[in-house]
């Protein structure tokens, strides 16, 4: 959520930075109008309260002096009724203003390149060259079926399209990846592991800006007004919602493995085969809660933490800076890490690392107080996939496949897979 004071005092700059995204009508004129109306009503209420306080002090004096206070009492009654009416109107306007502010995206950082869509994202760096084969490589959905480790037909029978049943070495491979990722993040990179709920209430979903804008992309449980989380970013970032942390508490690094759930309402026809775009998928998430002055350096470190997983797996990837037309609603700047997928003959997103600045912290009222005192300040929050496990499984299958249809297990995963080196059909 943006600071209304910033919108009020830097309206033209805020308008320019939101329009820089190149899409959407962000209702900034209505926000300014609502803010002006709120301030006018508030000024009127405060003036009437001051009058009420002044007059109420005179009434006992008038009665003591034997004066007729009936007109003054009648005025007090009118003032009281007027205040109640204006306070009700003030609440209505404030609710409307709050709802409008929830629908305004974060301001894009000045370092973000301008562009209309993902075709104009800018490559920042690359690791390894795309995998080359001396045979016709298979797509991961064919490999998984031939190896009898991925079962899409039975998943469709159980739940429908965009679900997968992992079997045998397929299940073991995905579990190995999750454990490997968590071990690196926790034991080497300083993250604290969390096992959070995978259900979140409306307030929690609003705090990380999934609501109200993306409600139709969520799986909803109406009987409890709960949502299945689309990412562990939601519970991890909200762990300290409504709290005032001390400066000594920061930074906080959290990581979690969770299943994630997305309706994918706007992705009809995209990546329908395989395990790239699923309604339910496994992911390891990283979240940081930091001081404002540290957040840009922390974004670089966060991205490197995610890249380290791919480097150790020996998977080709590159990092791109998302342009203004592709960046997420709550992000000030995002790096996407994209892994090479031979079946697509292109890079595919496997992690998205973002600095949300104070955008989420304002929505969930998460602040900290400095050692030297002063007023509490909003923290900055960051998040990144470390990594999407299903997509990593797909990338391992495709990049490590052999001519005979088997798949070599990356060396770093073998201790997690009982020492197995290759996945073969008979496994």
Q: Is the pLDDT of residue 26 over 90?
A: no
**Residues with catalytic function:** 262, 277, 349, 352, 391
- Would you give the end-to-end CA distance of the chain in angstroms? 51
Element (H, E) at 338: strand 333-341
The backbone torsions φ and ψ at residue 105, rounded to the nearest 5 degrees and listed phi first, read: -75, 170
The contacts of residue 261 (CB under 8 Å, 6+ apart) are: 198, 218, 219, 228, 229, 230, 279, 280
Number of neighbours of residue 242 by Cβ within 10 angstroms? 11
| Cis peptide bond prior to 202, omega within 30° of 0 | no
By C-alpha distance, which of 292, 356, 296 is closest to 111?
A: 296
Q: Is the pLDDT of residue 266 over 60?
A: no
Give the Cα separation of 291 and 284 in Å (integer): 24
**By the 8 A CB rule, do 237 and 355 touch?**
no
Give the Cα separation of 14 and 131 in Å (integer): 44
**Residue 413 DSSP one-character state:** G
Find the mean pLDDT for residues 58-65: 83
User: Which pLDDT does position 174 carry in this prediction?
Assistant: 98
User: Which pLDDT does position 50 carry in this prediction?
Assistant: 93
The contacts of residue 322 (CB under 8 Å, 6+ apart) are: 112, 118, 121, 328, 331, 333, 334, 335, 336
Q: Is the pLDDT of residue 345 over 70?
A: yes
Taking the model in full, what pTM does it have?
Answer: 0.94
**Residue 401 DSSP one-character state:** B
Number of neighbours of residue 3 by Cβ within 10 angstroms? 15
Three-state DSSP at 355 gives strand
Alpha helices in 218-338 (DSSP H): 233-237, 295-313
pLDDT, tens digit, 9 for 90 and up, residues 308-325: 999 999 999 999 999 999
Q: Is the pLDDT of residue 290 over 60?
A: yes
Give the Cα separation of 400 and 410 in Å (integer): 8
Residues composing the chain: 427
User: Which pLDDT does position 95 carry in this prediction?
Assistant: 97
Q: What average pLDDT does the chain have?
A: 95
Find the mean pLDDT for residues 9-22: 94
**By the 8 A CB rule, do 137 and 397 touch?**
no
pLDDT band (50, 70, 90) for residue 59: confident
Residues of the chain by 3-state class (helix, strand, coil), percent to 5: 45, 20, 35
User: Which pLDDT does position 234 carry in this prediction?
Assistant: 98
Give the Cα separation of 44 and 170 in Å (integer): 67
**By the 8 A CB rule, do 112 and 22 touch?**
no
**By the 8 A CB rule, do 347 and 339 touch?**
yes
By C-alpha distance, which of 272, 62, 15 is closest to 160?
A: 272
Q: Among residues of the chain, what percentage have pLDDT more than 90?
A: 89
In a 13 Å sphere around the CA of 54, the CA atoms on its Cβ side amount to 8
Three-state DSSP at 314 gives coil
Element (H, E) at 49: helix 28-64
pLDDT band (50, 70, 90) for residue 272: confident
pLDDT, tens digit, 9 for 90 and up, residues 200-228: 999 999 999 999 999 999 999 999 999 99
Number of neighbours of residue 34 by Cβ within 10 angstroms? 21
User: Which pLDDT does position 267 carry in this prediction?
Assistant: 58
pLDDT band (50, 70, 90) for residue 32: very high
């Amino acid at each position: 959520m943006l600071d209304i004071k910033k919108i009020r005092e830097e309206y033209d700059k805020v308008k320019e930075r939101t329009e820089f995204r190149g899409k959407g009508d962000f209702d900034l004129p209505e926000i300014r109008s609502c803010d002006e109306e709120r301030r006018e009503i508030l000024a009127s209420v405060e003036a009437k309260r001051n009058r009420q306080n002044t007059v109420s002090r005179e009434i006992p004096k008038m009665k003591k002096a034997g004066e007729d206070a009936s007109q003054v009492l009648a005025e007090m009654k009118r003032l009281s009724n007027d205040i109640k009416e204006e306070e009700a109107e003030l609440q209505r306007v404030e609710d409307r203003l709050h709802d409008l502010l929830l629908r305004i995206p974060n301001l894009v950082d000045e370092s973000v390149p301008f562009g209309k869509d993902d075709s104009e994202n800018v490559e920042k760096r690359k690791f390894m060259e795309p995998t080359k084969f001396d045979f016709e490589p298979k797509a991961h959905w064919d490999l998984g079926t031939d190896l009898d480790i991925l079962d899409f037909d039975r998943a469709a029978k159980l739940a429908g399209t965009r679900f997968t049943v992992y079997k045998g070495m397929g299940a073991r491979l995905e579990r190995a990846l999750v454990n490997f990722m968590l071990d690196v993040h926790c034991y080497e990179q300083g993250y604290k592991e969390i096992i959070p709920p995978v259900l979140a209430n409306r307030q929690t979903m609003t705090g990380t800006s999934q609501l109200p804008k993306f409600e139709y992309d969520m799986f909803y449980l109406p009987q409890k007004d709960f949502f299945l989380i689309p990412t562990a970013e939601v519970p991890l970032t909200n762990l300290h919602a409504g709290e005032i942390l001390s400066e000594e508490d920061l930074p906080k690094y959290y990581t979690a493995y969770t299943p994630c759930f997305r309706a994918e309402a706007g992705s009809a026809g995209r990546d329908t085969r395989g395990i790239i775009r699923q309604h339910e998928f496994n992911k390891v998430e990283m979240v940081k809660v930091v001081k404002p002055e540290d957040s840009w350096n922390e974004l670089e470190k966060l991205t490197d933490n995610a890249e380290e997983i791919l480097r150790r797996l020996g998977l080709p990837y590159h990092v791109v800076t998302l342009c203004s037309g592709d960046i997420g609603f709550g992000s000030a700047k995002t790096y996407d890490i994209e892994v090479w997928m031979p079946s697509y003959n292109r890079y595919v997103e496997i992690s998205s690392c973002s600095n949300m600045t104070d955008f989420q912290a304002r929505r969930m009222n998460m602040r900290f107080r400095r050692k030297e005192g002063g007023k509490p300040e909003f923290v900055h929050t960051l998040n990144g996939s470390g990594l999407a496990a299903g997509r990593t499984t797909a990338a391992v299958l495709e990049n490590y496949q052999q001519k005979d249809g088997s798949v070599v297990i990356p060396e770093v995963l073998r201790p997690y897979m009982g020492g197995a080196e290759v996945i073969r059909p008979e496994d």
